[in-house]
Amino acid sequence: MADTSPHNKRRPIPNLPTYVENYLLCLLFHMLLPLIPIGLELWLTNTVTDNSLTLAASMYAIAIGISSRSRLLFGSSIVISILFAIDYGITVGQHASLPGTRSVVIWGICAVFIFHALERYNRHIVDRMPFWEFMS
């Protein structure tokens, strides 16, 4: 005989609200997935070359920036992308990186990530817009 007392009922684990899922999916697929090549190089070789880091930063900045609804973030990401592309060309041409390049590139990637994550917070958490609009 099954125990049907109210004290013995199993409760399901609550789901995250849809808008939180949208934000987390955005962080995972839109913002972290493009950084996988850097992670793979680090994992496979225990280091990331300045060439790889600078090229990845240039591509990451433009890829993230074009999806921004902020004109300032969009314009800034284009400038950042061009500057890192120039730096990449110098690095490849000289077979050595400019002084301080590595830390500037890392901070550049972090800045693009943080500012876009804040923008996406407003879009998905505050405004409740779906991450993939075709799935709504």
- Read off the pLDDT of residues 90-135 as tens digits, 9 standing for 90 and up: 888 877 667 778 899 999 999 999 999 999 999 999 999 998 766 6
Q: What is the reported pTM?
A: 0.82
> Rounded to an integer, what distance in angstroms lies between the CA atom of residue 32 and that of residue 27?
6
Residues 65 and 77 sit within 8 Å (Cβ to Cβ) = yes
Check whether 2 has a pLDDT greater than 80: no
Q: Give whole-number Cα distances, 52 to 43, 68, 136, in Å.
A: 14, 24, 37
Average pLDDT for residues 39-48, to the nearest whole number?
95
What is residue 33's predicted lDDT score, i.e. its pLDDT? 95
Q: Which residue has the tokens 């790889």?
A: 52
Residue scoring higher pLDDT (10 or 22)? 22
Taking Cα atoms as reference points, which of 60, 89, 56 lies closest to residue 77?
60
Share of the chain above pLDDT 70, in %: 90
> Rounded to an integer, what distance in angstroms lies between the CA atom of residue 122 and that of residue 9?
38
Confidence of residue 58 (pLDDT cuts 50, 70, 90): very high
Taking Cα atoms as reference points, which of 118, 131, 134 lies closest to residue 18?
131
What is residue 5's predicted lDDT score, i.e. its pLDDT? 61
